Structure 1
Amino acid sequence: MRENCGCHTGNRRAPSADIGGSVLVFDRATGVHQALLDGSVLTARRTAAASALGAKHLASKEARNLLILGAGKVAAQLPKAFRTVSPIKTVRVWNVTPDSAERLSEDLRPIGWGAAGLRLDRPPEVHSAEPPSGSPLEAYFATISSSPQH
């Protein structure tokens, strides 16, 4: 496997990413090229999978709601990753740019998610809760504060 990465800081003003990369996969025995993978997609999926693995051990087994802070490439991968470890039914998305949160929510709805963008002046308040009984680790899971905005 070989990785190739390039940084193009001028792309910040363009619709292109400022960092791009590819992962080339070769057969170990023969050296024959097997695959060319988009590095940014692979990184987003790996990050989402690592997050879901942490939630598997730290979150309540009864969790049905997922709060995503951010609306980028990793955020788009989180619902599917979390559903592999928890029976998530509802997704709420908050982003500094509310339109981005709503766009991600719109993308998630047709594939079976009860998703909605949160239009808040500031990030949702997150509180810790008692760990579920029998948890292998001391667990904390997030709840969205329904207090009025100031």
Structure 2
Amino acid sequence: MRETLRFNPVGPISLREAVHVDSQFPGTSIPAGTAVLIHLAAMNMRTGLWSDPHTFQPHRFAFNGAKNTNDTANLFFPFGDGPKGCIGMHLGKREVAAIVETVVCHYHLSIHEGTLTSLETHWDNANQPDRPALIRLSPIHDASHGGSLS
């Protein structure tokens, strides 16, 4: 889930207020109270922060074995961070985990014939695919359940 959110974040930017004291950022002075726009999508694709950032690597965050995990721990926050972070983060993560578990336990997944091998996205209120990605779900049959699990 983390690599999916890194590769295709739901929201491209985060708007925050700078800390309550004047700060220095390399090459810039940031007065206290300044609105700061953080371009999350650009951070997620920055070569200096991620190894091979333009390649989707599902195991990038697995078991802390990823090269990026320690170096970028404070640079990856797809749900925002701090007191203004997404209030639905924990619910969203649990829902996605439950949906993925249900689908992979009950269905074989395959790409529907004629579906593109790559999918472009566009930004509206959230990151959205520019066309449907058709996936075929075939029920897994299990004799202990008397046939189909659907």
TM over 0.5: no
TM-score, normalization by structure 2: 0.21
Larger Rg: 2
TM-score, normalization by structure 1: 0.21
Greater RCO between the two (CA within 8 Å, min separation 6)? Answer: 2
